[in-house]
Amino acid sequence: KAGVTQTPRYLIKTRGQQVTLSCSPISGHRSVSWYQQTPGQGLQFLFEYFSETQRNKGNFPGRFSGRQFSNSRSEMNVSTLELGDSALYLCASSLAFLPTDTQYFGPGTRLTVL
């Protein structure tokens, strides 16, 4: 069974641009979560989607948004990029929106903002 895939793996953008990251969950998984990982703040929760609906949201500005499609694939978008948005963005999938589910992580997208 293929794992969680994220594209692209690396991305370089300049301040003010916008970026879209993609995540394909494990086949059969319907819940997708997004995290930002930086050396200073560690791993921080961005949002979680289940059945195309956002179920949870972390404490990030409105420049960060996401969506989930009917096939459970998810995208996150960051508009008006800032230097501080440079980070590893991780996506995780789980079977359903149940607190007992295990999360499986993808390899991440490394975003560098110049």
Partner 1 sequence: KQEVTQIPAALSVPEGENLVLNCSFTDSAIYNLQWFRQDPGKGLTSLLLIQSSQREQTSGRLNASLDKSSGRSTLYIAASQPGDSATYLCAVRLSSGTYKYIFGTGTRLKVLA
- Residues in contact with partner 1, shown as a per-residue x/- string from 34 to 73 under the rule CB under 8 A: -x------xxxx--x------xx-x---------------
Cβ pair 8, 112 in contact under 8 A = no
Q: Do the bridges between strand 19-24 and strand 64-68 make them parallel or antiparallel, or are there none, so unpaired?
A: unpaired
By C-alpha distance, which of 31, 65, 28, 61 is closest to 49? 31
Does 100 engage in binding with partner 1 (CB under 8 A)? yes
Q: Where do contacts with partner 1 occur on this chain (CB under 8 A)? A: 4, 6, 33, 35, 42-45, 48, 55-56, 58, 88, 90, 92, 97, 99-100, 102-108, 110
